[in-house]
Amino acid sequence: MYIIIIGGGRVGYYLTKALLDENHEVLIIEKNAALCNTIKEEMGSICLQGDGCEAATLEEVGTGRADMFVAVTGDDEDNLVACQVAKHKFNVPCTIARIRNPQNEALFKKLGIDVTVSTTDIILEYIEKEVPTHPLTHLLTLSEQDLEIVKVRIPPAATTVNKSVRELPLPKDNKLILVISRDRKPRIPTANTVLREGDQIVALTSLETEQKLRAALTST
Amino acid sequence: MKVVIMGCGRVGAQLAVLLDAGGHTITILDNDAYSFRRLAPTFGGTALFGNGIDAEALKRASIEEADVFVAMTQGDNRNIISAQIAKHIFNVPRVICRIYDPLRQELYDTLGLEAFSPTTIFAHLVQEKIEG
């Protein structure tokens, strides 16, 4: 595959190395001349000095025949514009953008960027998994339907302890899928299921209603 | 009209003062508070410190009630991303965006931003002056 990478910083550098090892044809576009030269000295003439957001530069490197376009500079705005130019001017089938501000994910998706990688969100996800006191953990995102599957732990002082599912102020279209009690027995909840302290609940929610679900289950 | 302007440079500041004098409600946003010195003392709108590529900062600038959003920073890409946030996330009815690079301006014009390139406009202007 022909893969174009925008940004020759650490991420771009190691990404290129790995892709070359897998025998892909890779080209990096990097603004900074010194960075560009370092890459060239080490990996050969696979780096072009230039602005990856400029149509003229992208024309020069044959973006029209690229299978994949990956923008990994440190600036969200540069990554967005580079991907949009690749997508709309050169019809690259797959565009991937690195994101720093997690809020930009929705925008990038809306604007047709195929894949977004939010480093902030990834690190946050690991923290949620590693810190046992964290009441809400993301398990899976169903991006096409804008839904997500999360796990919520019922804290000891929660007002929901000893309440039945029927009494919970669940946000619209949120569904409780599974209740795992402290003895690790999983049950499929019904309206009459009573929640206990320490129960783990697997639920279907959305990005917009996630905070309401968390409040409905864990508020004290 | 309620107008949010991002970027308090020479053009942004002047535009803010003109629109304010014309009776519109203006909020101008810049991530360098020192740039607000460019606003004339008569300016009666709101000058807000914040980064216009951040949705939170735009919310603080009351972008949800805005009729028009204008992106006027020095950076083409910054203008492009904030204009698209205004248009696609906050559904601002009118979004105007300055893009120096003529090629990029053409692209975003076709993608539905009201984009203009001072480079092209000024070049044509000077050409007309010379050729009469």
Residues of A with CB under 8 A from a CB of B: 53-56, 75-78, 80-81, 84-85, 88-89, 101, 103-104, 106-107, 110-111
Number of structural domains (chain B) is 1
Co-location of A28 and A87 in the same domain: yes
Number of structural domains (chain A) is 2
The CATH number linked to B93 is 3.40.50.720
Co-location of A104 and A11 in the same domain: yes
Query: Has residue A96 got a pLDDT over 80?
Result: yes
**Chain-centre distance of CA A95, in angstroms?**
14
pLDDT value at residue B119: 95
Q: Which amino acid is at B121?
A: I
Co-location of A146 and A108 in the same domain: no
ipTM for this prediction:
0.88
> Which of the residues B63, B74, B77 would you substitute to probe the A interface, choosing the one with the greatest number of A C-beta atoms within 10 Å?
B77
Q: Smallest CA–CA separation between A112 and chain B, in Å?
A: 12
pTM given for the model: 0.77
Q: What tens digit of pLDDT does each residue of B54-109 get?
A: 999 999 999 999 999 999 999 999 999 999 999 999 999 999 999 999 999 999 99
Is the CB of A54 less than 8 angstroms away from the CB of B54?
A: no
A55, A101, A110 ranked by CB distance to B103: nearest? A55
pLDDT value at residue B26: 97
Q: Which amino acid is at A1?
A: M
pLDDT value at residue A42: 92
Of the residues A62, A95, A122, the one at which a domain ends:
A122
Co-location of A81 and A143 in the same domain: no
Domain span holding position B113: 2-131
Co-location of A16 and A117 in the same domain: yes
Under the banding of pLDDT at 50, 70 and 90, the label for residue A153 is confident
Which contiguous run of DSSP H or E holds residue A6? strand A2-6
The CATH number linked to A12 is 3.40.50.720
Under the banding of pLDDT at 50, 70 and 90, the label for residue A168 is confident
Radius of gyration in angstroms for the set of CA atoms belonging to chain B, rounded to a whole number? 15
Chain B hits for A110, Cβ within 8 Å:
88-89
- Neighbouring CB atoms inside 10 A of B86's CB total 28
The CATH number linked to A185 is 3.30.70.1450
Co-location of A10 and A88 in the same domain: yes
Co-location of A107 and A164 in the same domain: no
Of the residues A83, A101, A122, the one at which a domain ends:
A122
**What is the pLDDT averaged over residues B18-46?**
96
- Neighbouring CB atoms inside 10 A of B105's CB total 22
Q: Residue A127 domain-assigned? A: no
Co-location of A116 and A148 in the same domain: no
Chain pair A-B, CB pairs under 8 angstroms: 53
Q: Residue A95 domain-assigned? A: yes
- Asked if residues A203 and A161 have their Cβ atoms less than 8 Å apart, the reply is no
Nearest C-alpha in A relative to B56: A103
Chain A hits for B111, Cβ within 8 Å:
84, 88
Domain span holding position A192: 132-218
pLDDT value at residue A215: 86
